[in-house]
């Protein structure tokens, strides 16, 4: 019988949700980046425990709901097309950091779109099933 | 539902997540070395893998699969995990200029379209203690779907809030991997959109053909 036909059983490990946090980052408009340069915007909070797993949903300006998944990459057009990358990482035993990053992969100076993007990160953390 | 499941740590109306595979793996790689590892999972089905990785054995700093410290458009490390009917397949590339050890911790669920005997993963009597300081994921819907190119499936949950969602999909190789990236502006990969009424999963893989997806939607709020 498949395990989830049981509501509760002591025979299988599980993941326990121990903490939740919301992060908000605004990526300003009209950022100027030299060729090959990158810029990051971050917010760090105490959430979860060392080794904890997390799942993420991201809502950003114009997203029409939230996107579920560890990474979201937006495509925007400034003086060239570029990506805005959102993700979270455990950056210390007690902290998670939310990141927004733009990288100028073109061979000329990039000025990003004049519209800022505000992204809200909804993070749920889980006790890992490892000792 | 006549009550709000969010207010309960567990609920008799919804099963809890049951982990059917637990594993760890580590590999030491020189600069720009690539490792491709197949680990037999010894299950009779293709498990739905979840994993994280770290360059610290105690996971004091840790990342999701394919996430991690960035170097421009790429990353310091490329990490992927997927599974087929026989193996868990892990690929790792060290893109830094130094030798590094990458540690993985991974676990898996049984897909909803499988009804097989699974080995127990709680090997000690005290592994599974309901702790009132924690919340336990209440599985509301789990199912599979085959999505043609640009096709979507809309699951109406009607909860009035954004539920937690996990999604896996078949990769180009035919193996099943966790959904790790949304490209909302491009026809790449899979897009998983959550509202207070629906979960919409779209195969945006314009040139890749159909894709099998597995999803788990919880009564817990994201």
Q: Do A14 and B19 touch (CB under 8 A)?
A: yes
CA dist., res. B197 & res. B161, Å (int):
7
Q: What is the pLDDT of residue B182?
A: 93
pLDDT in tens, chain A (131 residues): 677 776 666 677 778 888 999 999 999 999 999 998 999 999 999 999 998 889 999 999 889 999 999 999 999 999 999 999 999 999 999 999 999 999 998 889 999 999 999 999 999 998 877 76
CA dist., res. B29 & res. B37, Å (int):
13
CA dist., res. B32 & res. B35, Å (int):
10
Q: In Å, how far is B151's CA from the nearest CA of chain A?
A: 17
Chain A residues within 8 A of B76 when measuring between CB atoms: none
Chain A residues within 8 A of B140 when measuring between CB atoms: none
Q: Which of B18, B64, B66 sits opposite A9 (nearest CB)?
A: B18
10 Å CB burial of residue B27 (0-12, 13-18, 19+) is: middle
CA dist., res. B222 & res. A68, Å (int):
9
How long, in residues, is chain B?
A: 222
Structure confidence by residue, pLDDT tens digits, B77-129? 999 999 999 999 999 999 988 999 999 999 999 998 888 878 777 755 555 56
Chain B residues within 8 A of A103 when measuring between CB atoms: 70, 72-73
Q: Which of A7, A50, A63 sits opposite B184 (nearest CB)?
A: A63
Q: Does B44 touch chain A (CB under 8 A)?
A: no
């Amino acid at each position: 019988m498949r395990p989830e036909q049981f509501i509760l059983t002591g025979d299988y490990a599980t993941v326990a949700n121990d903490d939740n946090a919301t992060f908000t980052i605004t990526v300003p408009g009209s950022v100027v980046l030299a060729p090959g340069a990158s810029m990051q915007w971050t917010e760090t909070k105490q959430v979860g425990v060392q080794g904890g797993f997390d799942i993420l949903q991201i809502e950003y300006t114009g997203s029409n709901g939230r996107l579920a998944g560890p990474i979201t990459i937006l495509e925007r057009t400034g003086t060239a097309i570029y990506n805005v990358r959102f993700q979270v990482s455990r950056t210390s035993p007690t902290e998670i950091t939310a990141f927004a990053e733009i990288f100028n992969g073109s061979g000329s100076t990039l000025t990003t779109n004049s519209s800022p993007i505000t992204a809200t990160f909804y993070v749920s953390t889980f006790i890992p099933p490892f000792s | 539902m006549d009550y709000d499941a969010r207010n309960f740590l567990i609920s008799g109306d919804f099963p809890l997540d049951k982990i059917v595979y637990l594993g760890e793996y580590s590999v030491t790689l020189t600069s720009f070395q690539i490792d491709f590892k197949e680990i037999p999972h010894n299950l009779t089905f293709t498990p739905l893998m979840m994993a994280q990785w770290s360059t610290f054995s105690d996971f004091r700093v840790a990342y999701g699969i394919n996430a991690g410290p960035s170097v421009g458009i790429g990353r310091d490390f490329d990490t992927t995990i997927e599974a087929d009917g026989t193996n868990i397949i892990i690929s790792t590339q060290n893109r830094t200029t130094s030798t590094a050890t990458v540690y993985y911790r991974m676990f898996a669920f049984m897909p909803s379209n499988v009804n097989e005997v699974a080995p127990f993963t709680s090997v000690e009597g005290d592994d599974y203690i309901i702790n009132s300081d924690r919340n336990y994921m209440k599985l509301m819907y789990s199912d599979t779907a085959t999505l043609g190119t640009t096709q979507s499936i809309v699951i109406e949950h009607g909860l009035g809030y954004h539920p937690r969602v996990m999604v896996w999909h078949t990769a180009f190789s035919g193996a099943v991997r966790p959904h790790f990236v949304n490209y909302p502006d491009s026809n790449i990969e899979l897009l998983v959109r959550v509202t207070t009424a629906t979960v919409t999963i779209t195969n945006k893989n314009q040139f890749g053909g159909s894709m099998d997806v597995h999803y788990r939607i919880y009564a817990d709020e994201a």
